[in-house]
Structure 1
Amino acid sequence: MAPSMPSLMRVLCALGSVLLLFATLVSADAVLDLQTKGKPALLAQLAKSTTCTKDKIMVRKEWGDMSKPDRKAYIKSVLCLMNAPSKLPAGKFPGAKSRYEDFLVTHMQQTLSIHSTGNFLSWHRYFTWSYEQALRNECGYNGTQPYWDWGRWAADPESSPIFDGSDTSMSGNGKKITHAATFISPAQNGGGCVETGPFANMTVRLGPVSPMADPAPPKNPQADGFGLNARCLRRDLGPYLTKNYATTAIIASLITSYKNVGDFQTVMQGGSGVHSAAHFTIGSDPGGDFYTSPGDPAFYLLHAQIDRVWTIWQMQDLPNRMQVMSGGTQMYGGGATQKLTDSCDISNVASKVWQLKDLMSTVDGPFCYVYDSL
């Protein structure tokens, strides 16, 4: 029997409510909406590129959107890099025993000229991409560098697929121990050695240089932090920083509120910016050390998200935001003014030296990748 008109109206109203709810959920990620909005501009830039084409483009994904086999493939390649011998001159950096640690040495050497500087964004873009290339070319990885969307898991990063301690995670929190707060955040839910997941047995050998962890890690035998100083990987994960400083709404506001790159990157890197919030959500040792943070393998997911946020910011006005930078060549505006013709030299881990102007677009220069979809 056909439904009466009132019954049909109730069904249609209910269906409309469901569709409205679905539409709300679909568009709940304001950062993803901004990425979608900017995609035509990126496609227009891709069409002009002389080095990147649609058939070569690579797509980076959020860890939670990767299949478990793809996560395992990434983890396997990271472990491969950790087990491969260092290519640095023998004896020059006693704590660098692996190819993985070659990247850490590079970051330690240049820390004071790649943070709060004009090249912060472009340098880390090239560094993260070079790491991705090492995983692919030296360890047989066929995928791309994943990212950690802080806002997506802001309420409880420990339960996210990135840090849940499963065999498809980047390992879990450190063992819960009694420890003190840092000046960045209260003591969180770990503080001790990481005992779960693929990196549970990881040995940290370089640093510390500028530690921010309690209890403090043992001092390095060399003042520069390059001596051999074997210890466990520690983390102090918790929601305090992500809930307060790295939600999706905060990330979206960062992208939409600042029209010039100087303001954008200053707020991003500030003490309560998303960059600091993400780093100290991992925290402890070596993740809470300004110099040695790439010693934690989650660093590269964090910085892929930094790169994604910058990319989305650029895409909102790409013609006017691609070839722009602001800042000096030393921390906090010191040194000479950074120029687009300055070099990015990370020759410990990447043989080619590029000018910064060549590193400003993800579809030009050495790069040929996008985030989430083409």
Structure 2
Amino acid sequence: MTAKNLEHIQTLAENIFSKSQENIMNQIMDGTFNLDDFIESQEHNIRDELHDNWEGLVGEGNAYWERDSISDSDLKFLMGRLKHELCLKLPEIIKRDLKDKYQSWQLQYIETLTQVKDLTVNLCQKENVGSSRELMDLQSTTLSLHHIASLIDKVRLFFTAQQLKIDRVAIPVVTLPSDLEVKAIEETDLFNGNAEVAAAASTPAPAAESSIESMSSENNTANVSSTTTGDSGSESESEIGSVHIFERSPVNGFVNTVKHKPALVPESTIREKGFDHGDKLRVLNVRPFGERMHYDFELVEKGSSSASNRVQFNLCIVEKDDNGLFVQKAEIGQTKIVIDGTERKLYLLEKDITRLKIVPEDIIDIAFKPNNSEYVRVAWKHYL
């Protein structure tokens, strides 16, 4: 068979696949696709293609293979040969199409996952119950995410069975904030022009920064990967591996020396990773979070134990009097709250009470800036 014949056979395979693409994909997704059965089912289409392109598929210049003089047995031989060639050509076409779909579905997954995150965050930020329409939108988008994930899994299984490799799109790690974190982001005013934070943002970085920058060598970033996307991706990627000083707030904390400053570090992350004021943190990843950029950090080096810029009392029991909710005992009632040698009754802010739905007998951790015990923040609510 000549090179020209092979070119026409490739076209035949492309045409057969195009006519039955949806059916092929459905069978692959169902796990019922069988190449031999499929080619046998396409005999009518193969005959049509042979009739329309006889010279290209069979050749010309040989009287024996003239269309008008072909015998039934020779036609059967030609059909068998074309089916054999299709068995060789179609798998590559199917694999190519599946790879394209796999890449497309992964991008759809990222987009839909972001939509689920945004819808969830929007509901978490509401003081009241979300509307039926909002809940239906979240349900519909979540179902779409499940459907896309199912398609991706099926393609992975198909390629695994074929012992083939496929390139995966980097899926960004999306952390859906808890109710505490969402409200803390809003209430700590890190991004709302709070005077205290604004002053911190304008304060020069600690002197240790110059030595910190020298720590951001290739060795420190060798195992760090980025899933940042978007126009600012290259700029954000340049921050991966850089090291910064962590600053603690009464609730949450922040890093003020990154490009998209200040970078919020949620309370849950601080507690999970054991971050303290003055610690050196390395940027692991930068990704979009709504209209801002979210940074992931890891601990590089603990700061000075004397560097604390806040006072915290843990496991305080919430009580109530005519003036509102307050705490005066910590460690689940084992110790009294004493400030400057005086027992104190610390009243909670209404916004924290509303945000965390605090009621009497709840167990909470509170924190405040030194010399500002009148402005007490609820850093954490325990569910014991």
TM-score normalised by the chain length of structure 2: 0.24
The structure with the greater share of residues assigned to strand is: 2
TM-score for the superposition, normalised by structure 1:
0.24
Answer with 1 or 2: which has the greater Rg: 2
Q: Higher helix fraction: Structure 1 or Structure 2?
A: 2
